[in-house]
Structure 1
Amino acid sequence: MLHQTVIKIRGKVNKLVPIPLPKLIEGEGAITQTAQVLTALGGTKPLIVTDAMLVKLGIAKQLTDALDAENIAYALFDEVTPDPTFSLIGNGWQQYKQHGCDSVIALGGGSPMDCAKAIAASAVKNVDARKLVGMLRVRKALPPFIAIPTTAGTGSETTVVAVVTDPDKKKKFTLVDPSLVPAVAILDPLLMLGLPAKITAETGIDALTHAVESYIGFHATEQTKAYGYDAVKRIFANLPTAYADGSNIEARRQMSIASFNAGVAFTRASIGYAHAIAHQMGGYYHIPHGLANAVILPYILDFSFENALCRYAELAIAAGVATSDDSQVAAAHKFVAGVKALNQTLNIQTDFPELKASDIPELAKRAVREAYCDYPVPKLMNRTQCEDLLKKLVSA
């Protein structure tokens, strides 16, 4: 079977391509170390890539205050919007050049991270980001790059991917290259205290999706499984608390580490159908990626059950919903039920009001095509099966 053959080959190739691990700095107030980190990397004038809301909330000021204290000049690009486009990235690249920047600091969730990576890649290659879409098109070290996440979900501070949206084509494109991994990731739970409960929930399940899909796929290794297992354990233990009490610093800290670990896992072991479908939801309807993954994950767990049963059983123990006394089948069922119960606790919706039945054939076609020969899923899904799944997501 072509898919299995290609996946096996890619698995072997993956082991030959070294993926760097960002230097991790984490803890309360870690953002104050940014100036020293930047200097150590050789950066003197960074472009700060963020969004207007983080500026309005004063979170960006915490970063600029840290740079001001050390007399480090910077330029602020706060135009990032959800699902950054090639045009937006082009604007950021122009700002980078006009202000004579030599480094990049990404501050925010997945969108500022993706935007910053693409800007940095354009800067080092001196080409429009459109020309860097695909695998291994960058192949040059980025300028000094620091990632400071303000959500615990995407894991973008660890990944080789930048996702860019083309609104005209209603499609998302990816830049994939080990050089896109930031040099340093700064995890400061204090930056996440004001995160609304809804976003806390959606980004948290996004991290869970990364951990689970990397764990059950054919490219999983003992290393990636260890990172994924740890992420699942932290998420089940801390996400309900972070959701119910956003001011709980320790829960926020644990979730930031879980997101980082899940990012490390899926960067090396890839993803699955939850992401393939979620990408279409984002491209077509601008549904936030974390929310899309959160809604879709339970359906994918049901679909892959028989083929991933043993891995589910292991994750059930990590999640604390089963013990070694449970049979493998019982533990696997408990894991799927546990994920669904967690979604309910977090008030995650179960369908997409935006989804139009008339769009389903094209959405299914794109999702299946995206995953085929690219994602090491435990069970292949055909277009009809994908259409049937999507029909369950249409609001009644």
Structure 2
Amino acid sequence: MAARESVTQLMRLISSASCKCPHHSQKFSSALPGAHVCSSKHHATSAAPDSSSKEYAFEMAMSNIRYGEGVTQEVGMDLNNLGCKKVVLFTDEGIKATPIHSAVLDSLNKNNVNYDIYDRTRVEPSDKSFKDAIEFCRAGSYDGYLAVGGGSVMDTCKAANLYASKPDADFMDYVNAPIGKGLPVTHKVNPMLAIPTTSGTGSETTGVAVFDLEDMKAKTGIANRAIRPLLGIVDPLHTRYMPERVFAYSGFDVLCHALESYTALPFNERTPRPLDPKERPAYQGSNPISDIWSKHALRIVSKYFKRGVYNADDMEARSNMHLASTIAGIGFGNAGVHLCHGLSYPIAGMVRSFKPDGYVADHPTVPHGLSVVITSPQVFDFTAPACPERHLEGAELLGADITNAKRADAGKILADVMRGYMHDMKIEDGLKPLGYTTDDIPAMVEAVKPQTRVTKLSPREKTDDDIAMIFEKSMSVY
């Protein structure tokens, strides 16, 4: 019923927002605040696109998704159906110690799949760990890729597939600009299947691979639709093996994916408009289709997040959060994220000594979901004036009563909601417990600057002083 209502809502939205001019069938002029009205310059069909003008379109791209208890048993058949002759299975030491690994191998062996295993995936991967995986795959000449694990495993597999498919590529060719060249992917990559084992990144749906660039002590990544998995096999049975802290931190990634994509700059306010459709970025800004996925993910989080954290046997809660991760992934994979993620990169990249419970890692690391959520109260307090209605609706979807709320209080209300969730899930009290002090803020601000791929989608213009203020106020949360 909920799915039917969502589809009906989308059809009504598109119908009511349709432009009446003969040159556009859908403008979404009433769907988003601040959306542009048809103007004569967009009707000059013979004119070349103006790269300085605002965007006028958005695209939706996602992996195929299969969801259900026990669907892991089908992966061997899938690889045979694709005609793969030699497959590389990406995983990590933590997954190898669980029944998940056995279930995957059982399917591969029963279906006579020829495979090798790459298990050196690094939790929170780096450029060095990516390169190690790339060299492994270049040597193996694989025609099929299978990732079984969390976001780190899936992202490493994406990168290995991308570069192994083009042996003469330099590593920085596809790394996001301005750090790398950000070249479009024009060569064919091999089919990749992904089986997520955590409920957070939504990486099984997206063409994004994130890593630490160790020399810069900052996170960056690769973003291109070409590297998204062909199929995401989402099996909720795997959530039984997630430790409490892993589930909590991962769940906050889901929450922030959904909130950031819903409050991101509207797609038709983004500049510049690309001169060629192939240059349209994966992260395009909030749009009517992504909105539906993001809002539904928030509803699921509100109902099931806390239950799933504290009761690993609550399969209803854990299954729904596993699905919410995929749902939010579809939303943000096309709309994008903004400041929570943009500010998370130096938090993770500059880590000195923090080691979280429940993670198999031999190095200091700030889990991605933790690095994202830790500034979220201050981020949403800052961005709320740009679109208070959306911030209030986000708070309501997460359980807040906004009956008598004022638009001017939207930021404070949503910030308090985030603090409440963080407190309930026992999240660390700000940046200080992660090992940071105010002396680190200038370097952290500098590390945010290259993250324009996401920070430019902030609905509110920001300065270096604004970013510094958010970091300073996030030293403690409660």
User: Please, what TM-score do these two structures have when normalized by structure 1?
Assistant: 0.91
Summarize the Cα distance change of 1:90–1:391 in structure 2 as closer, same or farther, 3 Å threshold.
same
Per-residue deviation, 1:166: 1.9
- 1:387 equivalent to 2:429? Answer no
Per-residue deviation, 1:359: 2.1
Q: Partners in 2 of 1:9 and 1:271 — Cα distance? A: 22
Match of 1:70 among 111, 133, 145: 111
Match of 1:271 among 337, 360, 367: 337
Summarize the Cα distance change of 1:236–1:373 in structure 2 as closer, same or farther, 3 Å threshold.
closer
Matches within 5 A, 1:148-159: 148-159=195-206
- 1:162 equivalent to 2:233? Answer no
Per-residue deviation, 1:369: 4.7
SS in 2 for 1:94: helix
- 1:239 equivalent to 2:337? Answer no
Summarize the Cα distance change of 1:91–1:120 in structure 2 as closer, same or farther, 3 Å threshold.
same
- 1:194 equivalent to 2:246? Answer no
Query: Counterpart in 2 of 1:348?
Result: 427
**Letter of the 2:174 counterpart:** L
SS in 2 for 1:175: strand
Per-residue deviation, 1:198: 1.1
Matches within 5 A, 1:230-379: 230-285=296-351, 286-322=365-401, 325-327=403-405, 329=407, 332=410, 334-352=413-431, 353=433, 354-371=435-452, 375-379=456-460
Per-residue deviation, 1:328: 5.5
Summarize the Cα distance change of 1:340–1:220 in structure 2 as closer, same or farther, 3 Å threshold.
same
* Aligned-residue CA RMSD (Å): 2.5
Q: Is the 8 A contact 1:75 1:101 kept in 2?
A: no
**Letter of the 1:80 counterpart:** T
Q: Partners in 2 of 1:271 and 1:124 — Cα distance? A: 29
Share of identical aligned residues, percent? 26
**Letter of the 2:341 counterpart:** H
Q: Partners in 2 of 1:330 and 1:250 — Cα distance? A: 37
Summarize the Cα distance change of 1:340–1:142 in structure 2 as closer, same or farther, 3 Å threshold.
same
Summarize the Cα distance change of 1:334–1:392 in structure 2 as closer, same or farther, 3 Å threshold.
closer
Summarize the Cα distance change of 1:106–1:19 in structure 2 as closer, same or farther, 3 Å threshold.
farther
Q: Partners in 1 of 2:449 and 2:399 — Cα distance? A: 33
Query: Counterpart in 2 of 1:183?
Result: 230
Query: Counterpart in 2 of 1:86?
Result: 127
Which consecutive unaligned segments of at least 5 residues does structure 1 have? 1-5
Summarize the Cα distance change of 1:125–1:337 in structure 2 as closer, same or farther, 3 Å threshold.
same
Q: Is the 8 A contact 1:7 1:375 kept in 2?
A: no
User: Please, what TM-score do these two structures have when normalized by structure 2?
Assistant: 0.76
Q: Is the 8 A contact 1:20 1:181 kept in 2?
A: no
Higher helix share: 1
Q: Partners in 2 of 1:47 and 1:137 — Cα distance? A: 25
SS in 2 for 1:32: helix
Q: Partners in 2 of 1:239 and 1:34 — Cα distance? A: 28
Q: Partners in 2 of 1:366 and 1:47 — Cα distance? A: 34
**Letter of the 1:329 counterpart:** R
SS in 1 for 2:117: strand
Summarize the Cα distance change of 1:99–1:124 in structure 2 as closer, same or farther, 3 Å threshold.
closer
- 1:122 equivalent to 2:163? Answer yes
Query: Counterpart in 1 of 2:288?
Result: 222
User: Which of these two proteins has the greater Rg computed from alpha carbons?
Assistant: 2
Query: Counterpart in 1 of 2:220?
Result: 173
Per-residue deviation, 1:87: 2.6
- 1:48 equivalent to 2:129? Answer no
Summarize the Cα distance change of 1:244–1:9 in structure 2 as closer, same or farther, 3 Å threshold.
farther
Q: Partners in 1 of 2:454 and 2:372 — Cα distance? A: 21
Query: Counterpart in 2 of 1:3?
Result: none
Q: Partners in 1 of 2:319 and 2:212 — Cα distance? A: 30
Q: Partners in 2 of 1:153 and 1:162 — Cα distance? A: 14
State the number of aligned residues.
Answer: 389
Moved more, 144-153 or 295-304: 295-304
Q: Partners in 2 of 1:344 and 1:75 — Cα distance? A: 43
Per-residue deviation, 1:23: 1.1
Query: Counterpart in 1 of 2:37?
Result: none
Which consecutive unaligned segments of at least 5 residues does structure 2 have? 1-49, 177-181, 266-284, 352-364
SS in 1 for 2:430: coil
Per-residue deviation, 1:12: 3.7
**Letter of the 2:428 counterpart:** Q
Q: Partners in 2 of 1:10 and 1:59 — Cα distance? A: 47
Summarize the Cα distance change of 1:8–1:52 in structure 2 as closer, same or farther, 3 Å threshold.
farther
Per-residue deviation, 1:394: 3.5
Q: Is the 8 A contact 1:45 1:72 kept in 2?
A: yes
